[in-house]
Structure formats: structure tokens, C-alpha cells
Structure 1
Amino acid sequence: MKEKTNVTEIFGMNVFNDSVMKARLPKAVYKDLKKTIEEGTELNPAIADVVANEMKEWAIEKGATHYTHWFQPLTGVTAEKHDAFISPTDDGKVLMEFSGKELIKGEPDASSFPSGGLRATFEARGYTAWDCTSPAFIKETPNSTVLCIPTAFCSYTGEALDKKTPLLRSMQALDIQATRLLHLLGNDSVKSVTTSVGAEQEYFLVDKEKYLQRKDLIFTGRTLFGAMPPKGQEMDDHYFGTIRERIEGFMKDLNIEAWKLGITAKTEHNEVAPAQHELAPIYDSNNVATDHNQLLMETMKRVAERHGLKCLLHEKPFAGINGSGKHNNWSMVTNEGKNLLDPGKTPHENQQFLLILASIIKAVDEHADLLRMSASTPGNDHRLGANEAPPAIISIFLGEQLEDVVKQLVTRGEATRSKKGDKLASGVHSLPEFEKDATDRNRTSPFAFTGNKFEFRMVGSTQSISDPNVILNTIVADVFADVCDQLEKVADDPKAVEMEAHELTKQMLTEHQRIIFNGNGYSEEWIKEAERRGLPNLKSMVDAIPTLVTDKSIKMFEKFGVFTKAELESRAEILFEQYAQTINIEALATLDIAKKQIVPAVMKYQKQLADSVAVLKETGVDTSVQEALLGDITDNLKEMYGAIGVLAEDEAKAKAMDEDVEKQARYYHDTIFADMSAVRQPADKLEMLVAKEDWPMPSYGDLIFEV
């Protein structure tokens, strides 16, 4: 008999959410805290002790003995330090206490996290600060129950050392400029604008026992060797296919854990590649959605262990089949619940929407390089541009309806119509007729308008979605500010504001229409066309990182207080270091596996085959087949061993470049990466020549089909 799950009862049960606060906090305290959360007013320190005590009592009722300031350093994963609620008494016992000071401020060691030179090793002090806009939660594992308090992480001198602080700054910047714009357009009742985000998470599941036999997966998260099996994804039979029972069990438990944490896990399905899956939540505020995505990735890994599985979040764990992304669905919503990216039924008449749309188009065109950088990881370099993900060239897909409206504005100066969706004609009388959307979708577009939001599809599956959203929020705020500056010149005359908004819309669309592309982003023709249009094509992470520290970028980020120049320079240094370190680990793992596993296994098989040839020759049997096979093995082994020597030599050179992180990262990209491929190519050929039982690790077929 199936165990029943009442979703409405368990949803949010481990979250110190609004309903819990309303029930437990004194009315005045609740009202004060609610004002800070909703309006961004300064937190009243006087209420902290009351909130902390009720949070502690609630957590203890849930079985918690410890609390932690849960934060997101520049490692890209979360961090936590557990402190018990205990406080000793004079009689040798303890009280369970938690003060407002402990809630508001923590002090982890700042020197042991990446800082890019912002903190010296001897300068250890850093602070975590309570982010009351993201609710505290209980993290339950088989061995502990901990109260987690989402926090920002800053250095002693105030620089952001985390992913949350810049995100909150960028949200604030966009809120100010978007609200300012709406007021100029006559929407005086709007008090605030928040960004709303939904992050679709792709991932792979493989058998844990097989995973533990693959050193490459253990050390790097991806396979460094592996011949393609007879079948990959070419039949398209895994996508949306029937979910296997073992995976269903994982998904069921994952949903329950996510729902307990208030994560609105909504959609689950098999993805394109074998063993690949996706989970998509319902939209939430940008900050909460970012916290939830970090928490979801962690929960996926933990739940997978229960089912004897390993969850792989790497962008490209297997060569030859699709990798994993994280589609970042982004929109803006007023405090009154109005989605500013909803075009309505007649977009050509919606002046506010068209002005906002034109502003976003301008922002993406002017800062395409930054947006590309925000989706940069070493793993994503394998994925972007392949026939599975958007190309490395940023473009915007608007769809037929909006593209037609834009064309009318650019060519005629006025838009007088909007295309409508036709009825779906299936040709089957018993199937209901319904109206189609006014436009199709484009899965090859990096930045696609999908009805009432933009879907940024380049983001890598391992990434924190803070990075792309910081960029998106800031570049849009920047254009909104420029638009507001122009509108304010005629603000005394509503009619003049309307006319100026119309002219600005036409101007921005005309000057930045080059970024709009509704065609096939995978085609060679588009690469040539994009070059003709002057669009940047940053093919790798190391090409994209410098865009962070251009004069244009520094000026914009400092204007809105999102990053200082020092913070940007530190992040560029960290990204170069992370790239170099990632490829360094992959190179060392390649050498380790090749020398200690593959070469000995091949030599052993080679000897067996040579002995067999000798025995058969003595009996007068034709050994031409065996000798041909032995020759192929010998040739590939020789090629592989030579490539190992080159990789080892170049790896030593790469390590010696550590005084110049950018030069080192580029060497790893240009040289070491090619060296690793040179080792892999003959190794993968050898896998097809050596008997399966003599090959030292599970094959691709074992990993992706036997789950």
C-alpha cells in the first residue's frame, strides 16, 4: 500500500515563514519585521531579540539543537558553521538561548574563502548578516536537525565576499529605477518592483556503485574518458519518456524534501539525454529563488544517496550526449502583482510594455558580453554552442508577434496591429479546438521572450543563479535610469511624457535591433551573420572574464552600488583561478587514470593477446585477425603514452605560471585542454578494442542506461 503524502500539510513545514511569524510574534514586532521584508526599510534592532527567541523555540520544537548562518561564498556552493543553542549556568547545567545579536550577526573566518585579494590570509575577520527577506528554515538530515538562517557575507572592510550581497544590491537598484519609471508613466500607486525568477534545474542520475568505480566522476564531476555506446540519444525516446521506478522513488522523496523547505517543486520529467532529468519550480522573488536553487542542488545530492544513486550537476558529465543547463526565467512584478513583462492581448497598444521591452533589448545589446560572462563556468564551455544549448553569441528571440510590432515601430514609426494566434487544427473531430499562442518557441535562443518573461537559457547547471541575475538586474536598471532622465525633462506634461516614451521606444528598437534574432541559433549561417552585425562571440570562459573589469562595466556597477572596482577585480581574479584550478584537477585526474588504470589494463590485455598469437602460431592456425588487433592496440597505446608525456610536461609548465592568473588560465584553456583530448582519443579507441571484462571502469553504456 502506498504511503499517503498530504502536500498541503507538509509544504513549508520546515520554514519560519509568514504564517509562522504571524502566529508566534507579537503583533507590533510582526508588523515591524513585515515592513522591512516588503518595503526594504531598515531593520529595527530592537525587535531582534524577540524574533530570535521565537525562532529558537520553533526550531527546538522541530528537534533542532544547533543553528547556523547559512551563506553563499564565492566558491559557488553554500557554507555553514553550526553553533549549539546552549548557554552554561552556574549550577553546571545549560539553558537553550539564542539572542538577537546572534541572529543578526555571525563571524566566520573570511581568510579561508575566495576573496581575490580583498582579504589577506592574516586578515581573518568577516561578517555574516541576517537577510530577513529570505525565510529561515530547518535542514533535516539523518544525523542532524539545524536551524539555517540565510545571511549575506561581507569582509571586515565592507566588501561583498558572497553571491547574495551583490544580488540584493542589484535588486534594490532595479526596484528604484523601475519604480521611478512607472511613476513617470503615471503609475503612482506602485511602491516597489521585484524581480521574479524560476530556475529550471537539469541533472543526471547514475548508479552509486558504478560512480565509485570512476575516478574521473569522483574528482571532477565529469567523465574524462569514455567511448560512446551503440545507442545515445538519437532516438529521442528518453525525453518525456516513462520515468523508471527507481528514479520515481528519488523524485518522490526529492519533492517531499523540497516541499518541506517551501521550494515549489512543480514539474519533473526525463530530459533529452539518457539518465538526464529536470525539475522546475514555480516562480519566486529573485533572492528567495536563488536561495532555493542552492538548497535544491544540495537536497538532490543528499536524496540521491538514499536511493543508491549519485546526482551529477556538471554541465557536461558525458561527451557525445546533451549536457545540463539551468534555464533562468526572469520577469519584473510590482507590489500590486502586475507583471511588467505581460504584453496583454494587444501589445502594439501597450506603451508601457513596449518601452520596458525596448529598454531590455537595449540593455542586452549594450552588455551582451557581461551577460555571456554571467553564464561562464569551465563545464559550460563544453556545452555552449553545441547542438543542445544556445550558442555563445547572445541574441534575443521575441517571437513573430512582438517581432512584427518591433518592425512596424522601426519602419513606420507606429504599430497599428498585433498578430493573433490561430485555432489549432488537429484534423481529428473529437479533439478540442483551442487558440494557439501568437508565436512559436525557439529552443536555440540564449535569451528568449516566452509569453510574459525572458528565459536566459545559457546558465550552467552547477551555477548559482545569483550571477546572471545580478547582471540582468543591473543592466536593465542602467537603461531604465537613462530613460527616466529623458522623461523627467518633460515630466510636467503627461502628454509630452507619453510622446517622449514613444520616441524613446522607437529609438532604442531602431538602434539595437541587431540583437533580435528569431532563427536557428545553431546554424553556421548565424555565426557569420552575428559577426556581420558586430555581436560579440566570446567562445570560452577565459575570453569572457575580462568583460567584468572594462571601464564601461566598472562605471555601471559603481553607479548603482552593486560592485566596487575592487570587488569586480577580485571576482575576475577568482574566476581565472577557478578555471585554472578546475582544468588542473582534470589534467591530474587524466594522468592518474591513464597511468594507473588504463595503461596497465591495456598492457595486461596486450600480453594475453600476444601470448595467444604465439600459441596459435605454433599450432599452424591463421593469426592474421589477432595480429591486426594486437597491432591496433599497440599503435593506440603508443599514441596514448606519448600524449601522457606531453600532458605531464605541459602541466608542470602551467603550474609555474601561478603568478599571473589570467596567463595561467589561458594556458590551461589553449594547451592543457588540448593535451587532455590527445590522451583521451586513443584511450577511447582502446576501450573499443579491449575486452569489456578487462577494461578498468564502467562504460558509458553501464552508467547512462543501467540506472
Structure 2
Amino acid sequence: MNITKIFGSKVFDDAVMRARLPKSVYESLKRTRKEGTPLDENVAHVVAGAMKDWAVEMGATHYTHWFQPMTNITAGKHDAFLTPTDDGKVILEFSGKSLVKGEPDASSFPSGGLRATFEARGYTAWDPTSPAFVKDGTLYIPTAFCSYTGEALDTKTPLLHSMDVISDKAIEVLRLLGVNDVKRVIATVGAEQEYFLIDRSLYEKRLDLKLCGRTLFGARPPKGQELDDHYFGRIRLRVSKYMHDLDEELWSLGVTSKTKHNEVAPAQHELAPVFESANVACDHNQLIMETCKTVAKKNGLACLLHEKPFNYINGSGKHNNWSLSTDTGKNLLSPGKDPADNAVFLTFLCAVVEAVDEYGDLLRLAAASAGNDHRLGGFEAPPAIVSIFLGEQLTSLLQSIATGVNPDTVSRLILHTAAAALPDLPQDDSDRNRTSPFAFTGNKFEFRMVGSSQSIAYANIFLNTAVADVLSRYGQRLRNAADVSSEVRRIVHDVVAEHSRIIYNGNNYTEEWVERARKRGLPIMNTTCDAIPALISDKNITLFERHHVFSQAECFSRYDIMLDNYIHVLSIEAATMVEMARRTILPACIRYTAEMAKDAALIGEAGGIQAPVTDIVKELSGLIGKIKAGTSALEELNQNAGEDKSHYQTARYYCDIVVPAMQRLRECCDRAETIIASDAWPLPTYTDLIYRV
């Protein structure tokens, strides 16, 4: 396989544009892509013609404006290039207008009240900074999606706004720090994707996996991840074939899939791409999730992206590695050889610390979902309390500067290995803390709370906007300062004095940290219901309006959509549990109990000891009663969920009342699974699911 030939072969990338566009058109488009300048209408028409010709040569018959509505997935209607002619034939056409603007129906996507059902018009607008590509016979054109009245109905529009804002504010600060050659600062992201693979035939036998993406029932397997023998272990042949096909497809679409390995839990794996601009990374992560599923199906597998498809073992996250780079190639979060004297690094590091402390509730919200509620806080997932890990060296550096003590030079240490044959290794500026939700890892921050099925858009929208807000304040301080270097040190002092509570380098899993975080006044939002109201707090609405990322109406619409999604997910899960318990698990329990009762009678007739079998019959009979009662109770709770309640009260009802009822029903069913013979249990077990790949 020739990787260099495959990579980007289905993408209308820079090389294709340079070869197919007139030089003036190419240069104009390149400026738009690199600097964010508006695109000329005549340029768009020329680009459209070249894009259509290339796509048709690639086998495309249709095009689609590919956008990301507020559903965590992508959408687009597919239009053919053909246009009828007067002689009854057709020609292939694609105009600049068709490239730049589309008009999909906006009435049936979640809008949180921004659109009524009878108000259908919406617009898609081409995002020229994210390359078009061909997939399954269609030219995909990445776009933003907005309503007829101008509100953003997607996740890309606010993401692009947030990228513009942080670029503008970062450039202002850089100018004041004496860096004058930067035209644009780019928020860059590398989003690691975790997922599970199971056999497709077993997946098809589980209604919960098909409808909910996770197992609603399932007893603890004899072996989970206790031996840590799956992590980074040998990749099974079937999985290796899948990963090979996945890489090849992603590479052809221009996705820099670089790292693949087994994760900690059995049947769990990870894929990691190279850093890209935040909006392209978001597009590519959506492609990764879609392609993971389609390639799995072709290989007789099912890819599970749910945050917690199985109890008792690791859930899956999406580590959002975030940094800031300039168009000149400089990483603003790189400490350099002497971080104590690196004003740029210190300023931007402090901006992130202050932003995360001030707007930690938004970062928690970015990782909030019904699925992620099952993951956060257990089995190597970070807890639901937002904190920052800087490492002892950087923390000590900031404290030294803040107290006026001349900091020791933080030089790169050398790790001397014991064996003579092994080389000495340069140490990084900090260790890694896998328990931290937001950790500095050398020249970037790794936000580890985001769920595996979630779009990374909100995490980066909130992060970009919050950091931009702090940089705006720093810019004002630096402009008014008599001496910029001294003001940078005062900024460090103020951040240490006012925001050190957010820095924690210890073990985030301990109860001690929960108590310490509470005393520090950090927000503790254990569930999605606790986190969602952050979006409509006065502080956060003011933030978004100040930087023109969201209007107040757009904040409230997303609040409503998040509540709606949470309610629907749990309602579907509760209904699925009722159906599975009533129509699959209860009949199996009854049949097996009846058989055991007959066996007990036969043993008694033969003069044998009935008690052991009778005890099993009694326990199963008791469980049957509990399962039946639990099923009826859950069904009634689910049916009554929305009565006389506000939207938030309904979500709270599901969180506080329905979810515990679901757990009680599960416990009874899982206990029955451990008693009933394996050939009589109607569902594939955890052992079947996670070890038969």
C-alpha cells in the first residue's frame, strides 16, 4: 500500500486546486483559507467548475452541503449535477452560487425554538477553510447552517466565530508582547477517538445495543480488565484487518489517522489523528465516527461509540488535545528552553488557567450527556470536577514568579536509563496525570472529559471563547502598562493569587480531592442535569454575546435542545428496558424456573435431596416477582415523566427518579443471569460480547 498516494486522494485539497485553478483564483482562495478573508463571487464560480469536473472524474454524480446540526451527527441533502436541456438531454452543471449557498429544510432539525415547524427555510454556507471530498459517489462540501433569520442552527458556525475571536485577541496580545509578524492564530486540535468493537451477529441479538448503543443488562464477566493485558497488547487479526481498512479509507479522505492501539478494556481500541485547525479537526472527527461504523459493518463487526457500553470496565472518551499556533508556525503554549523568561508562554498559559477557573462550568457542560454520566468518575475516566494539571515544575515556576522569587531555570532534564545499551532520554516539562480532566502535556492541554460519541465542537467553542475573553483583559492591561515585562509578571501573580484553586496535580479519583474541591469552591456537577443550566447563566450569556459567538436566543435554544436530548435518550432506554425485561428476560426466567421445579420433583421422587434445587427455584421465583414489579414500575414512571413539569423538571425527574428505577431493574435481571444456565439465557453475555471478536 502506497500511503503517500492514497492520502487525500478523495480530497479537493491544495495540490488539486493549484493544478486545476488559474493562478489568480488559486491565490485568492488560498488567502481566504489561510487568513479568513471574504471570498470573491467570481472566484467562487471558477472554483465550482473545477470542483465539479474533479468530482465527476472521481465518480461523483451528486453534491451535498455537508453540515453539522445540533444532533451530534452530520446531515446533507444530495443533489445531482445534472441539468435538463431543451432537447431532452442533460448537462452537468455546478455554479458558484450552488457551491457557496444551499437551502436545506430547517424545520425538522432541533432548533430549540429558533424555528417553528412551519418555518422551513434554512441556509448552508460553504466553509472554504475545510476541504471538500468525494465519498460514496457524492461531492461533500463542508458548510455552516443557519436559519432564515440568521441564527446558527449548527455547531460549526459558532466554532468558526470562536476561532476568529481567539485569533483576534491573541494577535492583540502578541503585538503588545513585541511579536509583530503574526497574521492569524489558529486554535488547533487533535481529538483521540476511543471505541469498542464487537461481533456483528451478537450485536444484532441485543435490542439495547441496537437502540441505545449500550447494554442495559449484563452481569459482571469473570474476567474484565483486571490483568491490564489488553492495553497496548497484540491486536487481534480480525481487528487488525478492520484497522487497516479504516486507515485506508480515512487516509483517502485526508484524515491523518496516525496512531492505533488496544485500549485498557477488552474489545476497546483507540485512534488518534495529527493536530489540525479546530474546525477541520471537528469535521474530521465526524468523518472518523461515521467511517468507524461503516467499515465495522463491512468487516462483520459493530463499532460502539457510546461512552459506557459495558458496566464494570472502562468507558470511552474523546481526548480533545487543544493548543494555539500562529501562521508562522509558532506554538504559543510551548515553554521553550527557558519558560521563566518566555513572556508569550507565561501570558497564554495564565490565560488558559484563568479561563478554565472562571468558565469551568462551561467545560463541564461540553462533556455533559446521558451517556457520559455513566463514564465520568470511574474506571480511568476523569471525575466530573473540572481542574487543571500543570505538573510540579510549572506550578512551582508560576508560584516563584508570583512571589517575586527568582525562579530556578527550568531546563530539560535527562532521564538516565539503567542499562548501558539503552540511550538517555530527555524528560518532558511535566509528567502525565491520567486522572486530570484538563492536563498540560508539553505544549498543549488535553481535555479528557469529552465523551466518545460527542461532537468536539462545543468543547472548543467554549474553550476558545473563554480564553479569548481573558486575553482581551490581558490586552487592556498590557496596553496600559508602563513596562510590559513587569506587567506579565503581575499577571502571573494575580493568576496564582486568584485562580490557584483550579490547579491540582494530585490524584483526582480520591474522596479527599472531592472534599478539597468543594472547599475551594469549584463547581461539582455530577450529572448532565447539574451542568446544563450553565449555558443560560447571566455570566456565560454575557460572555458569548460580548464576543458574538452566541446570542441570548441561541444560548437558550441550545439549553432546550440539550434537555430534550437528555430526556429522549433516557426515555428510549427506559422503554427498551421494559420491552427486553417483559418479552425476553422474564419468559426465559419463567421457563427455566419451571424446568428446575420439575427437576426438583423428579429428584424427590427418586429419593434424592431436593433442597439445593428448591433453593434455586425459590430465588428465581423471588427474582421473577421483582423483575415483573420493577418492569411495571419503570413503565409507569416513564409514561408519567412529562406530566405537569417544566422541561428542566422533566430532565431532573429522569435523572433522580427514572435512572435509579432502571438500575434497580437491572440488578434483578443481572442476578438472574448469574443463576440461569448459559444455554437458557436469551442474550449474549458480557463474556460473549467482549471476547468473541
TM-score (norm 1): 0.97
Shift of 1:421: 4.9
Pairing partner for 1:63 from 28, 38, 59: 59
Matched, 1:686 2:653: no
**1:516-665 counterparts in 2 under 5 A?**
516-657=503-644, 660-665=646-651
The 8 Å contact of residues 86 and 94 in structure 1, kept in 2 or not, is answered as yes
Counterpart of 1:225? 217
Residues 118-158 of structure 1: CA deviation (Å, up to 9, x unaligned): 00110000001100010000113xxxx11000000000000
SS of the counterpart of 2:641? helix
d(CA) in 2 for partners of 1:424 and 1:41? 47
SS of the counterpart of 1:654? coil
Counterpart of 1:166? 158
d(CA) in 1 for partners of 2:313 and 2:92? 53
Residues 636-681 of structure 1: CA deviation (Å, up to 9, x unaligned): 1212211112111211110435x62111111011111011011100
Shift of 1:186: 1.0
SS of the counterpart of 1:112? coil
Residues 3-31 of structure 1: CA deviation (Å, up to 9, x unaligned): xx100001001000111111100111111
Matched, 1:350 2:342: yes
SS of the counterpart of 1:656? coil
| 54-63 or 607-616: bigger deviation | 607-616
d(CA) in 1 for partners of 2:438 and 2:501? 14
Pairing partner for 1:366 from 345, 355, 358: 358
Shift of 1:352: 1.7
Task: Could you tell me which runs of 5 or more consecutive residues in structure 2 were left unpaired when the two chains were aligned.
Answer: none
Counterpart of 1:128? 124
The 8 Å contact of residues 339 and 410 in structure 2, kept in 1 or not, is answered as no
**1:36-435 counterparts in 2 under 5 A?**
36-140=32-136, 145-410=137-402, 412-435=403-426
| AA of the residue aligned to 1:696 | P
| AA of the residue aligned to 1:309 | L
d(CA) in 2 for partners of 1:482 and 1:261? 40
Counterpart of 1:674? 660
Shift of 1:498: 2.1
| AA of the residue aligned to 2:643 | A
What's the Cα RMSD here? Answer: 1.0
SS of the counterpart of 1:498? helix
The 8 Å contact of residues 387 and 522 in structure 1, kept in 2 or not, is answered as no
SS of the counterpart of 2:223? coil
d(CA) in 2 for partners of 1:415 and 1:585? 60
d(CA) in 1 for partners of 2:273 and 2:186? 18
SS of the counterpart of 1:148? strand
The 8 Å contact of residues 393 and 429 in structure 2, kept in 1 or not, is answered as yes
Counterpart of 1:470? 461
Shift of 1:503: 1.2
SS of the counterpart of 1:73? coil
SS of the counterpart of 2:524? coil
Q: Percent of counterpart pairs with the same letter?
A: 54
| AA of the residue aligned to 2:613 | Q
Shift of 1:229: 1.0
d(CA) in 1 for partners of 2:2 and 2:496? 50
Change (3 A) 1:112 1:415: farther
d(CA) in 2 for partners of 1:138 and 1:102? 17
d(CA) in 1 for partners of 2:409 and 2:272? 31
Pairing partner for 1:32 from 28, 32, 37: 28
SS of the counterpart of 2:496? helix
| AA of the residue aligned to 1:429 | A
| AA of the residue aligned to 1:254 | L
SS of the counterpart of 1:111? coil
Give runs of ≥4 in structure 1 deviating > 3 Å: 418-423
Counterpart of 1:456? 447
Counterpart of 1:703? 689
d(CA) in 1 for partners of 2:291 and 2:424? 42
d(CA) in 2 for partners of 1:73 and 1:650? 31
| AA of the residue aligned to 1:325 | G
Shift of 1:409: 2.0
Q: How many residues align?
A: 693
The 8 Å contact of residues 99 and 126 in structure 2, kept in 1 or not, is answered as yes
d(CA) in 2 for partners of 1:416 and 1:616? 82
d(CA) in 2 for partners of 1:439 and 1:30? 43
Residues 264-308 of structure 1: CA deviation (Å, up to 9, x unaligned): 000000000000000000101111000000011000100001110
Shift of 1:388: 1.3
| AA of the residue aligned to 1:35 | R
Residues 366-422 of structure 1: CA deviation (Å, up to 9, x unaligned): 011111001111100001111311111111000121011012123x22442234454
Shift of 1:426: 3.5
Residues 587-606 of structure 1: CA deviation (Å, up to 9, x unaligned): 00000000000000110111
d(CA) in 2 for partners of 1:448 and 1:690? 46
| AA of the residue aligned to 2:450 | V
The 8 Å contact of residues 401 and 420 in structure 1, kept in 2 or not, is answered as no
TM-score (norm 2): 0.99
The 8 Å contact of residues 190 and 320 in structure 2, kept in 1 or not, is answered as yes
**1:483-522 counterparts in 2 under 5 A?**
483-490=474-481, 496-522=483-509
SS of the counterpart of 1:160? coil
Task: Could you tell me which runs of 5 or more consecutive residues in structure 1 were left unpaired when the two chains were aligned.
Answer: none
Shift of 1:507: 1.1
Matched, 1:479 2:479: no
Shift of 1:509: 2.2
| 497-506 or 282-291: bigger deviation | 497-506
| AA of the residue aligned to 1:663 | Q
| 156-165 or 36-45: bigger deviation | 36-45
d(CA) in 2 for partners of 1:469 and 1:436? 29
d(CA) in 2 for partners of 1:275 and 1:434? 33
d(CA) in 2 for partners of 1:414 and 1:90? 83
